[in-house]
């Protein structure tokens, strides 16, 4: 029968510590994020209000769309930056993302459009070709 070596003991201790840390990470509470202000009035019972404004010198517009098309599967909302479509999508948790900020969710399409303008930093938005 072989004796436990120092290397095996340290390896077992490291594995146990990693397992405990992983278990705690799965059960640890997620810190709350600051909620963005809600839109002033909804366009219909479950969607954001339309908007049309100039933000940092760029014209951003958003409106609900109905009647099919690829917008219906993405929250039924269309957003443009200087007339070019900014592809937006509503997540399951009711937050919104765009092709410019795909991994950064926002409270509503207006916030998504503003963030895209900031990230574009003056660059022209090229429409996304779907299909």
pLDDT in tens, 32-81: 454 444 444 444 456 899 999 999 999 999 999 986 555 455 568 999 99
* Nearest alpha carbon to residue 108 among 36, 53, 45, 33: 36
Q: What is the pLDDT at residue 40?
A: 46
Name the token pair of 91: 């997540």
Name the token pair of 42: 């909804």
pLDDT in tens, 85-121: 999 999 999 999 999 999 999 999 999 999 999 999 9
Q: What is the pLDDT at residue 5?
A: 74
Rounded to two decimals, what is the model's pTM? 0.61
Set out the domains of the chain in order of their start, with CATH numbers: 51-120 (3.30.1880.10)
């Amino acid at each position: 029968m072989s004796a436990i070596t120092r290397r095996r003991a340290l390896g077992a201790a490291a594995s146990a510590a990693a397992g405990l840390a992983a278990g705690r990470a799965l059960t640890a509470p997620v810190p709350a994020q600051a909620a963005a202000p809600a839109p002033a009035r909804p366009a219909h019972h479950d969607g954001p209000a339309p908007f049309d404004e100039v933000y940092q010198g760029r014209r951003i517009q958003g409106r609900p769309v109905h009647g099919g098309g690829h917008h219906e599967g993405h929250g039924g909302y269309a957003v443009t930056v200087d007339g070019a479509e900014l592809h937006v999508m509503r997540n399951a948790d009711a937050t919104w993302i765009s092709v410019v900020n795909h991994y950064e969710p926002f409270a509503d399409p207006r916030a998504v459009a503003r963030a895209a303008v900031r990230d574009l930093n003056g660059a022209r938005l090229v429409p996304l070709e779907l299909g």
